[in-house]
Amino acid sequence: MFALKLLNQYLFKMSKKIVVIGPESTGKTILCQKLALHYKVEWIPEYARKYIENLKT
């Protein structure tokens, strides 16, 4: 149990987050997909556009 706790703490310290911002239609989504594929990590698609569209309705 102690070893698992240490492992979780180590992995938490190793995790990194990258935020890509910029104007529409500049290739941010494709860039993120390709980076995630290259580094074999999970990526999270855009959320803001859907969120803002839902506010308007």
Average pLDDT over residues 21-45: 89
21 lies in which domain range?
16-56
In a domain, 9, yes or no: no
Per-position DSSP letters for 16-55, written without gaps between them = -------STTSSHHHHHHHHHHHHT-------HHHHHHHH
Please write the tens of the pLDDT for every residue from 6-32: 777 766 666 778 888 899 899 999 999
In a domain, 8, yes or no: no
Output the pLDDT for position 34: 94
Q: In the chain, how many domains are there?
A: 1
Output the pLDDT for position 31: 94
What is d(CA 28, CA 21) in angstroms, rounded to the nearest whole number? Answer: 7
| Proportion of the chain above pLDDT 70, given as a percent | 84
